[in-house]
A = this chain, B = another copy of it.
Amino acid sequence: MMSTLATTNRRVLLAARPVGLPTAANWTFSDAPLADLAEGELRVRVSAISLDPAMRGWMNEGKSYIAPVGIGEVMRAGGVGVVEASRHPGYAVGDAVSGSTGVQTHWTVAPERDRGHGLGKIDLRLGTPTQWLNVLGMPGMTAYFGLMDVGLPNLTKPAGETLVVSGAAGAVGQTVGQLAKLKGLRVVGIAGGAAKCDWVVKELGFDACIDYKAGPSAVRDGLKEHCPQGVDIYFDNVGGDILDTVLARINRRARIVICGAISQYNNTTPVQGPKNYLSLLVNRARMEGMVVFDYADRYHLAVAEMAGYLKDGRMKSREDVATGGVDAFPATLNKLFSGENFGKLVLSLEG
């Protein structure tokens, strides 16, 4: 099937830095003509982009683990697509790729020139394009290295350790929990709403899942019930009160992986620090941050392992696919912060 090549690139630009939750005023839409490629460049027709909590941080000014998106620049995003034109010897028209495409319909990139491009071919025999934004992409890599390298599960403890993961039905959480089960740990999720909890237990095989929306003491009571041996690893995606509640239940030498703090990203007041942090002292425990990019040289190993689990059905991958193209980006992003998404949130730019 021949597809007609577009002549314009529709882009979502950061118009202003948000205070609190992003609004329409933070974005502008802009169509730009597609220029001829220079030597070494290739152009990707973007088929889907990833929506990640970290995007909220990229919109802020100031030093972080990555430079902020500049005002007037295309919003940063990971994405997948197909090469539709190439003047790069390593890429041919039709190649499936992923990379830091940005929120736009067409991504022109020169891997030898552009920093942080993240361009790479993806093997669609290992997973679908949206799985390459999920289990085989950044969230999956975050889960893998956060659990294995920072959480450091003790795989020799006979009865197994207990892992708790918040955002359990989200992109990172679903993979953390499934991987931990595969490694022999007891796994308890925390998620918002009965439907998510039900899915986490029945479909993903977690030992239990606590609905933090069920009441003010739901997390405390749930941890007491479902972690009778305490918590050895807490993989934290949310921060806030839930982090404090888990801190009160950790075991000696527990490891807390600080992967994110979605409850705090839209604060207009200072971040809520964990007032139970002295539990780290009492329990000789550790709280450690991680950024997935540090593990880039080992992504291929994690992809190989996880693709095996996907293929033999031991791991499931759920994507929540929004439609509407780049114009739907602002509304779709905010679903992350309201907790509306169920599984890895992606935005399709096709159809």
Measured CB to CB, the residues of A under 8 A from B are 63-65, 239, 244, 258-261, 264, 270-291, 294
Given contacts A289-B281, A289-B283, A290-B281, contact A271 B276 (CB under 8 A): yes
Choose from B258, B274, B278, B287 the contact partner of A264 (Cβ within 8 Å): B278
> Can you list 10 A-B contacts with CB-CB less than 8 angstroms, sorted by A residue number?
A64-B282, A244-B273, A260-B281, A271-B276, A273-B273, A273-B275, A281-B289, A282-B289, A285-B289, A286-B288
Choose from B259, B287, B290, B291 the contact partner of A277 (Cβ within 8 Å): B287
Bound Cα distance A273, B284 (Å): 17
Q: How far is the CB of A62 from chain B (nearest CB, A)?
A: 10
B271 touches A278 (CB 8 A): yes
Choose from B259, B274, B276 the contact partner of A281 (Cβ within 8 Å): B259
Q: Nearest chain-B residue to A247 (Cβ)?
A: B273
- Residues from chain B with a CB closer than 8 A to the CB of A275 are 270-273
Q: Nearest chain-B residue to A244 (Cβ)?
A: B273
Bound Cα distance A65, B280 (Å): 11
- Residues from chain B with a CB closer than 8 A to the CB of A278 are 239, 258, 261, 264, 271, 289
Q: How far is the CB of A242 from chain B (nearest CB, A)?
A: 13
- Residues from chain B with a CB closer than 8 A to the CB of A276 are 271, 273
Main secondary structure of the interface of A (DSSP, over half): loop
Given contact pairs A65-B281, A258-B280, A286-B288, a sample of 17 additional A-B residue pairs in the complex whose CB atoms are under 8 Å apart: A244-B273, A261-B278, A271-B278, A272-B273, A273-B274, A273-B275, A274-B277, A277-B287, A279-B289, A280-B287, A281-B290, A282-B289, A284-B289, A284-B290, A286-B289, A287-B287, A287-B288
- Residues from chain B with a CB closer than 8 A to the CB of A282 are 63-65, 289, 291
B288 touches A280 (CB 8 A): yes
A284 touches B291 (CB 8 A): yes
- Residues from chain B with a CB closer than 8 A to the CB of A290 are 281, 284
Q: How far is the CB of A81 from chain B (nearest CB, A)?
A: 29
Q: How far is the CB of A263 from chain B (nearest CB, A)?
A: 12
Q: How far is the CB of A67 from chain B (nearest CB, A)?
A: 12
Ranked nearest first, the 7 interchain pairs of A and B with the lowest CB-CB distance are: A273-B273, A281-B289, A280-B289, A273-B275, A286-B288, A273-B274, A287-B287
- Residues from chain B with a CB closer than 8 A to the CB of A286 are 286-289
Q: How far is the CB of A20 from chain B (nearest CB, A)?
A: 17
Bound Cα distance A276, B287 (Å): 13
Q: How far is the CB of A234 from chain B (nearest CB, A)?
A: 13
- Residues from chain B with a CB closer than 8 A to the CB of A294 are 284
- Residues from chain B with a CB closer than 8 A to the CB of A277 are 258, 271, 273-274, 277, 287
Bound Cα distance A282, B64 (Å): 6
Most chain B beta-carbon contacts within 10 A, residue among A275, A285, A291: A275
A258 touches B281 (CB 8 A): yes
Q: How far is the CB of A8 from chain B (nearest CB, A)?
A: 37
- Residues from chain B with a CB closer than 8 A to the CB of A291 are 281-282, 284
- Residues from chain B with a CB closer than 8 A to the CB of A288 are 280, 284-287
Q: Nearest chain-B residue to A287 (Cβ)?
A: B287
- Residues from chain B with a CB closer than 8 A to the CB of A285 are 288-289
Q: Nearest chain-B residue to A275 (Cβ)?
A: B273
